[in-house]
Amino acid sequence: MKKSLFCILFLSFVISSYGENDKKYWKRWNTNYPKVDILLVLESERLYADSVEKNPEMIQYYVRKGAYRFDAEYLGKTRDVSNEVFSSMKRVFKLLLGDPKQLDGMVEKEVLFRVGKEEIWMPIQPNVLRALEEEIEKGTTITLYCLFFNEHSYDNFLCNTLFISEFHQQWIKEKK
């Protein structure tokens, strides 16, 4: 009887500790990646790029980075990241974060998601892709945690890249 009681208490402690650690983990991600309307962010970037292109006195080349969290529907499709997107990511990384070689091996595939009515291909880290494919079914809406790389080149090429760093599936809808 004492062993059974001890086992029950021990398991209760482990489960409650895990839940607390899980809450702290997601609180840290949520703090570092504010929730946004990503379609509004992307539209704002397109409008700004248009205004830069219409005004030759403005510096035409610019970069920006950010970190965002938003909900998206997993469409279950992957493809190789294009050289164009990867090169843009490396240029932004070099200018704002440091050695772009850190991205080597971290960016190989893109995953297709739907946000609202828009479909968006997003690069993803290999370990995150493995977890996504194992844990999430096609058609499931999840929360994505993405680094945002924005580059506008002298030849008016705009590259908005959402690089998936983590994802989370809410089992029970949280109250807002």
Same domain, 43 and 130: yes
Residues sharing a CB contact under 8 Å with residue 77, sequence separation 6 or more, in sequence order: 111, 112
Stated pTM of the model? 0.82
Q: Tell me, yes or no, whether 76 and 20 share the same domain.
A: no
In a domain, 174, yes or no: no
Coil, helix or strand for 98?
coil
* pLDDT < 50 regions, the chain: 1-19, 172, 174-176
Q: Which CATH number goes with the domain that contains 55?
A: 2.40.50
Q: How many domains does the chain have?
A: 2
pLDDT at site 20: 52
Q: Are 16 and 92 members of one domain?
A: no
Question: Which domain, by its residues, includes 2?
Answer: 1-32
Q: Which residues pair with 158 in a beta bridge?
A: 152
The answer to whether residues 163 and 99 belong to one domain is yes
